[in-house]
Structure 1
Amino acid sequence: MIRRSLTAAVGAACAFVLLMAVPGSASAATGQFRYSYTTAEGYEAVGFLNNPASGECVDLPAPGSAPGTVSRAPKNHTDATATVFLDADCEGDTYYTLRPGAGASDRLLLRSVVFS
């Protein structure tokens, strides 16, 4: 009887250790998301997001851009899928998904992005 109890306790302890070793759900995409935009002074600039939060919409471009500026040429160097939207607040019917490591040309315009 003691041997069974000891075996069960050891088994439960091993299961707990294995459970704790399995990573939980990620709260951020690992890597960098890059995009181009035009500054208020008319210069071409590159904006980026480092390790962006998953599931949170980010409006682009960066501060200092011209009012009404649309970003372009996104490059998704994260480990998550990026869904880019032409409209702000990740709304609207015009969107495009970029797999991890994928990018798009200057023709793809965007105002917001969310990561899976």
Structure 2
Amino acid sequence: MRLRNAVLAATSAVALVLAVPVQANAATGDFLYKVGPGVPAGIADPESRHCINLFGATEDDPAFAPENFTNSTATVFLDFDCGGDVFYVMNPGKRLGDRLKLRSVVFS
């Protein structure tokens, strides 16, 4: 009787662990920005907690005008590799103007 109860308890615990949804490791949605003379660019469903250097951004010409249409908070950095002291935190749905310059981003 005890063995049957132990097996039933273990099986129930495993089923419970498998039934609980695991949080995805990506932000859902699009992060948009502009490069060069205003050419639109973006990232779809970016990976969370991973620094992303923005395609098209260079040392001479950073990206600008970010729009965070993901479900995660985006922290944008002026420097590559999410470094430096100049950064801005963008909540989901936030749009910023052409004056904000950025080269990398990380999502919560």
TM-score, length-normalised on structure 1? 0.79
Checking the alignment, whether the CA contact within 8 Å between 2:53 and 2:103 is kept in structure 1 is yes
In the TM superposition, residue 15 of structure 1 has moved relative to its aligned partner by: 1.9
With over 3 angstroms needed to count, the CA separation of the structure-2 counterparts of 1:66 and 1:53, relative to structure 1, is closer
Checking the alignment, whether the CA contact within 8 Å between 1:84 and 1:113 is kept in structure 2 is yes
In the TM superposition, residue 25 of structure 1 has moved relative to its aligned partner by: 4.2
Extract unaligned runs of 5+ from structure 1: none
In the TM superposition, residue 67 of structure 1 has moved relative to its aligned partner by: 6.4
Paired position in structure 2 for 1:12: 10
Letter in structure 2 aligned against 1:51: D
Tell me, what secondary structure is at the counterpart of 1:12? helix
How many residue pairs were aligned? 108
Extract unaligned runs of 5+ from structure 2: none
Paired position in structure 1 for 2:46: 52
Paired position in structure 2 for 1:111: 103
With over 3 angstroms needed to count, the CA separation of the structure-2 counterparts of 1:11 and 1:87, relative to structure 1, is same
Matched residues in 1 for 2:76 and 2:59: separation?
19
Runs of 4+ that moved beyond 6 A: none
What value does the CA root-mean-square deviation take over the aligned residues?
2.0
Deviations 1:48-88 (A, max 9, x none): 101111122111243xx676211111111112211100111
Matched residues in 1 for 2:79 and 2:58: separation?
16
Alignment counterpart, residue 65 of structure 2, candidates 70, 73, 93: 73
What percent of counterpart residues are identical?
A: 44
